[in-house]
């Protein structure tokens, strides 16, 4: 049994309202997408901007509810369970985002941010929580001396490591990584990627790894899901997709030269430089 088994999920968003307050139009963001992900495996989701990658990642964690389809996580039908069971399941599926500034609470110290999931989900006492936070900070390469710091005092790479430590607090088996290194300096990118790979191996983590950067995908992923306009164009192993893509769309993606895309503070693209 796969860790994650997604079948035929679709999601449409309505685009604003007309003068009478009726939703104008339902635009499909994700249409009839199916895939599986095994324990310890990394599946990359690639495709141009607006392809539906983030929507798909969020649906897997039930942060967005699909209109139709089924999502099985470790044999549990994620869309049919109640809130209490979902809370328990959430411990095992985590997400890290492109912009750690927005995913970490600026008023929480690093220690509080990393230990918070323990406060919410376990009855460990304060000392035990802090011990675990210290271990995790050591593990992600920041070091426990940063426990008392606040997000504003850390670099982007350090913040992403803190976000990762927080994601690891409850020993997840799946992490959805949505462009986790896209906002980082090129020099820091490789370090955070290496950390992700080491952790994957050490902890048997599975990643659903959303990325624009195909050079990076080739390094980190086992398999690749190519999306365009909400649909799966093709999927296969890294070898298949990179060496013998069957679809013209994939060939165009592969041919595009990766250019760093400038982002503003909220992580939005400042201009679309992804197309050559």
Ligand X SMILES: Nc1ncnc2c1ncn2[C@@H]1O[C@H](COP(=O)(O)OP(=O)(O)OP(=O)(O)O)[C@@H](O)[C@H]1O
By the criterion CB under 5 A, which residues form the site for Mg ion?
54
Q: Which residues of 218-238 are buried (b: 16+ CB within 10 A; e: fewer)?
A: eebbbbbbbbbebbbbbbbeb
Strands in 231-237's sheet, in edge-to-edge order, are: 93-96, 174-178, 206-210, 42-46, 223-228, 231-237
Nearer to ligand X, 10 or 158 (CB): 10
Residue 69 CB, shortest distance to ligand X, in Å, is: 15
Residue 31 interacting entry, from ligand X, Mg ion, none, C-beta within 5 to 8 Å by type: none
Nearer to ligand X, 144 or 231 (CB): 231
Residues that bind ligand X (CB under 6 A): 13, 29, 47, 49-55, 212
Q: How far is the CB of 49 from ligand X (least distance, A)?
A: 3
Q: Which does 72 bind (CB under 5 to 8 A by kind): Mg ion, ligand X, none?
A: none
Closer residue to ligand X (CB): 71 or 113: 71
**Among Mg ion, ligand X, none, what binds residue 46 when CB lies within 5 to 8 Å by partner kind?**
none
As measured in angstroms, the least distance from the Cβ of 54 to ligand X is: 3
Contact 34, 2 (CB under 8 A): no
At closest approach, how far in Å is the CB of 159 from ligand X? Answer: 19
Taking the complex as a whole, the smallest distance from the CB of residue 268 to ligand X amounts, in Å, to 9
Going along 38-166, which residue ranges are E strands?
A: 42-46, 68-73, 76-77, 93-96
Tracing tokens 């992700």 back to the chain, one arrives at 196
Select the binding partner of residue 118 from ligand X, Mg ion, none (C-beta < 5 to 8 A, by kind): none
Partner in contact with 49, chosen from ligand X, Mg ion, none, beta carbon below 5 to 8 Å by kind = ligand X
Closest C-alpha among 129, 127, 30, 9 to residue 72: 9
State which residue, 58 or 129, has the beta carbon closest to Mg ion: 58
Q: What is the token pair recorded at 236?
A: 């296969």
Residue 113 or residue 214: which is nearer to ligand X going by CB? 214
- Separation between Cα atoms, residue 150 and residue 110, nearest integer Å: 6
Shortest reach from residue 139's CB to ligand X, in Å: 29
Task: Collapse the DSSP code of 100 into the 3-class scheme (helix H, G, I; strand E, B; otherwise coil) and give the result.
Answer: helix
CA angle at residue 8 from 228 to 249, to 5 degrees? 20
**In the complex with ligand X, which residue's Cβ is closer, 90 or 212?**
212
Distances (CA, A) of 16 to 110, 196, 238: 38, 38, 39
């Amino acid at each position: 049994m796969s860790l994650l088994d997604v079948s035929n999920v679709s999601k449409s968003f309505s685009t604003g309202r007309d003068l009478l307050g009726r939703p104008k139009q339902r635009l499909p963001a994700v249409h009839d997408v199916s895939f599986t992900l095994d324990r310890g495996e990394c599946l990359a989701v690639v495709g141009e901007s607006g392809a539906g990658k983030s929507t798909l990642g969020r649906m897997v964690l039930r942060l967005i509810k699909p209109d139709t389809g089924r999502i099985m996580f470790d044999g549990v039908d994620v869309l049919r369970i109640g809130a209490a069971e979902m809370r328990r399941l959430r411990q095992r599926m985590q997400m890290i985002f492109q912009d750690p500034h927005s995913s970490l609470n600026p008023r929480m110290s690093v220690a509080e941010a990393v230990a918070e999931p323990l406060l919410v989900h376990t009855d460990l006492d304060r000392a035990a929580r802090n011990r675990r936070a210290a271990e995790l900070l050591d593990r992600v390469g920041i070091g426990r001396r940063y426990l008392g710091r606040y997000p504003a005092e850390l670099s982007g790479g350090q913040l992403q490591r803190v976000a990762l430590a927080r994601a690891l607090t409850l020993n997840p088996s799946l992490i959805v990584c949505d462009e986790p290194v896209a906002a980082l300096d090129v020099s820091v990118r490789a370090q955070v990627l290496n950390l992700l790979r080491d952790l994957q191996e050490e902890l048997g983590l599975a990643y659903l790894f959303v990325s624009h950067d195909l050079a990076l995908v080739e390094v980190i992923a086992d398999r690749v899901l190519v999306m365009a306009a909400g649909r799966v164009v093709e999927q296969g192993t890294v070898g298949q997709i990179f060496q013998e893509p069957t679809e013209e769309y994939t060939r165009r993606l592969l041919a595009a030269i990766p250019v760093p895309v400038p982002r503003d503070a909220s992580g939005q693209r400042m201009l679309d430089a992804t197309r050559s």
